Structure 1
């Protein structure tokens, strides 16, 4: 029988894929940073409603947060904002595609950070599955550069690579800290409430901090977000469904395993491009996707 965290992760990956597509559509009317901000700001009200529903209608008590919880949650939220800014900045740099390849090492960085911060080691089988999945993800990213693996490795020592590795590290750190925050709550109740409470606080941090960044850098962006409210709302709804699933899975299980299984999002994207948009795929892409699927199966079997 498939464990619940696996089903929840796949569900979250599907809606993250949908959110990414909607966010890309929203970016046609907003700046890249503004489109990214919609996933936080327009998701926040739904996160609060979800928390109230769990409390008032399902009877889950609100957890008692500690100083440690706020440290983990605020730091995790800031790390995710850093990831967003680094990734957006990467798109404007020379050799950005090469940098994007190295941002895909996030899975390995999550495993390392999960061990250092949470003390969650991987078994040999889990580590093998993680490496296979990472290699498949990197292959897809390398394809987009138009270079070979050798060509990408020769460009390792450039600023885009550093930005790419940095963005992967920031994303990895954020998810590890979110799990640390949820586990630090002084609460004997359901993991569902732990996840929901952590999500609300994280979104509050992200909406506030990124809102200040946009206020000083792109002041006209926020009114534009509300002018195009339908697109922004769609991003927020898809985003909150994905986030609820991700945070619940992170609370239940090891972040490295959750993120590895979550790479099925790329499989959804690939299938949509082939079956819906009738796009042709190269042997390189098919091989990369095969590795991702094999890695996910190995991870589930482990």
Structure 2
């Protein structure tokens, strides 16, 4: 199953992009650090599409493609804003866990907007893996406030809406294979997002714009990794419902826990171990359902 390999590649590349962006926030601000994935990712995606153009026909986006892409691009920017809000206060773990409920909202939104079947097996697998993430997060639910919870739910729902927008755009393209579809929608998405972020920074945050230009080496690395990760996310979205892709991606939580335990020597509690087990079972269940 190509979508499985594409999802795992995307998750690994996204981890690299996050590492590249890690120190940017303190130097260029949150808006600047967020924008580099779009602004510096666009040249790489556009160049790749240009290089492929002599060898394959580039699909022509219609009104439906543009509408779905704009919805996905806008929802992703808004989701990122809510995600940044969750990083404040003592309820970070709670809000982060709630953001990982994205596969559930994805399945529900996909059923409504794209008429994708839910199915008891698929819903059960998604729910089990999502519960595993919540348990393995180690969140202190007793300290949770309504605002962090609301921000986390909003971020998860908006990330889900963005993925539905991207899948809708991919399905609406009239001709071509899944790879050229993914690359075309990626270029459209990054163009919209770059234009929006540049407009905002020129109007309200020129310091951030000067900052990312001054940090161009790190920004280029983050942009290249971000574009690479997004391309493989879109390949996954082109081949299977977005909820399947995002549920499989939850396996990165297990990888992160293993790394933190083996390399950083951090202890893992019983509840976290139970959560990791539920993630593995849920992802395995989903793969069986998808294969059938």
TM-score by length of 1: 0.89
Q: Deviations over 1:65-101 (max 9, x none)?
A: 1111111101110000000111112333674543333
| Unaligned segments of structure 2, at least 5 residues | none
Pairing 1:96-111 to 2, within 5 Å after superposition:
96-111=92-107
Cα–Cα, structure 1 residues 272 and 234, in superposed 2: closer, same or farther, change >3 Å?
A: farther
User: Do structure 1's residue 271 and structure 2's residue 258 form an aligned pair?
Assistant: yes
- Partner Cα separation in structure 2 for residue 217 and residue 60 of structure 1: 41
Q: Deviations over 1:121-175 (max 9, x none)?
A: 132222111011100111233x1x334xxx37xx57x232222211111100000
| Unaligned segments of structure 1, at least 5 residues | none
Q: Tell me what 1:126 maps to.
A: 122
Q: Tell me what 1:38 maps to.
A: 36
- Partner Cα separation in structure 1 for residue 97 and residue 7 of structure 2: 23
* Range 266-275 or range 287-296, more displaced: 266-275
Q: Quick check: 1:101–1:138 contact (8 Å CA) kept in 2? A: yes
Pairing 1:129-140 to 2, within 5 Å after superposition:
129-140=125-136
Q: Tell me what 1:182 maps to.
A: 170
Cα–Cα, structure 1 residues 118 and 266, in superposed 2: closer, same or farther, change >3 Å?
A: same
- Partner Cα separation in structure 2 for residue 176 and residue 123 of structure 1: 18
* Range 73-82 or range 29-38, more displaced: 29-38
Q: Quick check: 2:102–2:246 contact (8 Å CA) kept in 1? A: no
Tell me which of 271, 279, 282 is aligned to 1:284.
Answer: 271
Pairing 1:246-261 to 2, within 5 Å after superposition:
246-261=233-248
Q: Tell me what 1:230 maps to.
A: 217
- Partner Cα separation in structure 2 for residue 271 and residue 29 of structure 1: 30
Tell me which of 251, 276, 281 is aligned to 1:294.
Answer: 281
Pairing 1:1-302 to 2, within 5 Å after superposition:
3-56=1-54, 59-92=55-88, 95-141=91-137, 143=138, 145-147=139-141, 151=142, 158-187=146-175, 189-302=176-289
- Partner Cα separation in structure 1 for residue 256 and residue 35 of structure 2: 22
Q: Quick check: 1:14–1:268 contact (8 Å CA) kept in 2? A: no
Q: Quick check: 1:13–1:264 contact (8 Å CA) kept in 2? A: no
Please state whether the residue corresponding to 1:62 is helix, strand or coil. coil
- Partner Cα separation in structure 2 for residue 135 and residue 5 of structure 1: 23
Please state whether the residue corresponding to 1:27 is helix, strand or coil. helix
- Partner Cα separation in structure 1 for residue 114 and residue 233 of structure 2: 18
Aligned length: 289
* Range 120-129 or range 91-100, more displaced: 91-100
RMSD, aligned α-carbons: 1.8
* Range 33-42 or range 270-279, more displaced: 270-279
Q: Quick check: 1:274–1:280 contact (8 Å CA) kept in 2? A: yes
Deviation at 1:4, TM superposition (A): 1.0
Deviation at 1:14, TM superposition (A): 1.0
Q: Quick check: 1:103–1:168 contact (8 Å CA) kept in 2? A: yes
- Partner Cα separation in structure 1 for residue 262 and residue 52 of structure 2: 38
Cα–Cα, structure 1 residues 211 and 265, in superposed 2: closer, same or farther, change >3 Å?
A: farther
Cα–Cα, structure 1 residues 81 and 216, in superposed 2: closer, same or farther, change >3 Å?
A: same
